[in-house]
Amino acid sequence: MIPYPASGLKMLAERVLGTVVPALGSKYAMSDTAMLAMLMVALADEMESGVARRLQDIEAMADLFQVGREAGLDIAPTESIATGQQTLSLVNEIHDAMTAQLITLHALVEASDDYRELNLAVWRYLQANAERHSLVL
Amino acid sequence: MTQPTLEDVRREVATYLADKWQASVAVVAIEQIFGGASRETYLLQLDVDGASRGVVLRRDPPSSLIDTERSLEYGAYAAIYPTSIPVPEPLFLENDASILGAPFSIMGEVANAISDVAVLSADGRQRIGLQKWQLLGKLAAMDPIELGFDDVCRIPELERCAAEQLAYWRSVIETDEIHPQPVAAAALRWLEQNLPAPAQKLAVVHGDYRSGNFLFEPEGGITAILDWEMCHLGDPMEDLAWSLDPLWCWGVPDLAGNLLPYDQAISIWEQASGLILNRRDFYWWRVFAAVKGLAIWISSSEDFHNGAGKQSILAYAGWAMTDRQNRILLDYLSPLSTHQFGGPRL
């Protein structure tokens, strides 16, 4: 059998909530374990679509950097990700590096009216990023 | 002893209190309280020479949402207890880690009280909300030196209250972030460039004054203000802004702390404190409150990620609360904001 980790993890979380939590002896252990199970469900979702969400971010940030370069800003080239390398940890690493670069870009463009549109585009990205990664437990 | 079991706590506390009170002490019931992430919190029912009595034990955890000094928290309780601001009775501060594997403090139990304001009726929200911001206003009006807080906290200059708090929480974010934080970075730049006027007065700042951090009787009033571990001296607007952070009104965006409309809460505080809110400066403190919250959630995330703390509440705070606090900051600062969250703006 090739397991489906996200649905497997969700089923395990349901089992914890349905059978383990009610059998626990203290309110503290019940609350702590129920929260663990809810976090397992959120992690399952992250396993399923976390890479895709980060790749969307990466593509959007690369577009912002390109606009910055065309506006004459000195922005280093960004690393590309080849198909087949898309593990969550690798995508996280590249996402972090690009986010650090985005912070530098944002500080630059907000300081000058010459880059008003790019500044707005960065804010638009931050809002889209928050929506994409919103967590509902 | 590294992590004591409930049985360890029961046995050691009975011995400890018997020695302190020179009495016969038995622990009749013991329960660990969930959610007290800054300290491990236990409620104990005692038999002391045949009389019933409840106490609360707060033990330093291996890791905490808030890295603070227990002596500061205990000192704050001791200074506030004689005043008209209700707090639990401070009983003992024990710095000897050999007893329970970590230092701890013991307070009197505040019986028959709850902390969840979601259970309140509309009338109850009005009653508790009125008291909540009246008490905060009273705290703001008090003279911290007369209360003895100069023995507990450092005294900042009025001109430096905001800048010092900003520097502290900036350092927490920079030290603890496990991913770059673009919203926090933008907010920190904004705060740096828009520092407020000096504090109108020096006040005791509770540091975490919010719904959930006070106890009340559902048909009565507030019986204890809890969790003083982030207490310091500073600008009283800091506490008001924290109490009004939209983070504390899940699902009810128009009610500050799930209790009262924002303007009403501010008006009650102004009347009780005798202070007038400067809208521009107060907006700075609102943005600051959201950044401070973000710093705490980033810090808890780091603790969980690095294995310093394994409590599920740290993972929850580091993920869900960071997510919501980022949205609040975007709502405040983005030029594209549609202002979904309540409270006064610039």
pLDDT in tens, B288-319: 999 999 999 999 999 888 877 778 888 888 89
Considering B65, B80, B108, which residue would you say is the last residue of a domain?
B108
Please say if the pLDDT value at position B13 is more than 70.
Answer: yes
Chain A residues close to B316, C-beta within 8 Å: 35, 38-39, 137
Taken in order B285, B288, B294, B297, is the CA torsion positive or negative? negative
Q: Indicate the pLDDT class of residue B3, thresholds 50, 70 and 90.
A: confident
Please say if the pLDDT value at position A117 is more than 90.
Answer: yes
Considering B44, B73, B108, which residue would you say is the last residue of a domain?
B108
Indicate whether B146 and B222 sit together in one domain.
yes
Please say if the pLDDT value at position B217 is more than 50.
Answer: yes
pTM for this prediction? 0.93
Confirm whether B240 is domain-assigned.
yes
The pLDDT value recorded for residue B142 is: 98
Q: What φ, ψ does residue B265 adopt, rounded to 5°? A: -60, -45
* CATH number where B194 lies: 3.90.1200.10
CA distance to partner chain B, nearest, from residue A1 (Å) = 31
Indicate whether B91 and B170 sit together in one domain.
no
Residue B280 burial class via C-beta count within 10 angstroms: exposed 0-12, middle 13-18, buried 19 and up = exposed
User: Mind listing the pLDDT tens digit for each residue in B67-79?
Assistant: 557 888 999 999 9
Whole-number average pLDDT of chain B: 93
Confirm whether B88 is domain-assigned.
yes
Indicate whether B96 and B162 sit together in one domain.
no
Indicate whether B132 and B262 sit together in one domain.
yes
3-state secondary structure chain A: CCCCHHHHHHHHHHHHHHHHHHHCCCHHHHHHHHHHHHHHHHHHHHHHHHHHHHHHHHHHHHHHHHHHHHCCCCCCCCCCCCCCCCCHHHHHHHHHHHHHHHHHHHHHHHCCHHHHHHHHHHHHHHHHHHHHCCCCC
The pLDDT value recorded for residue B238 is: 98
Domain that holds residue B30: 6-108
Nearest to A127 among B180, B319, B330 (CB): B330
Cα gap A59→A56, rounded to integer Å: 5
The residue of B40, B59, B115, B323 whose CB has the most chain A CBs within 10 angstroms, and thus the best one to mutate to test that interface, is B323
DSSP B57: E
Q: What are the domain boundaries of chain A?
A: 5-132
Average pLDDT over residues A52-65: 94
Indicate whether B200 and B85 sit together in one domain.
no
**Closest residue in chain B to residue A94, using alpha carbons only:** B179
Q: Indicate the pLDDT class of residue B38, thresholds 50, 70 and 90.
A: low
Instruction: Give residue A111's Cα distance to chain centre.
Output: 27
CA distance to partner chain B, nearest, from residue A84 (Å) = 24
Residue from B31, B37, B62 nearest B227 by CA: B37
The pLDDT value recorded for residue A85 is: 67
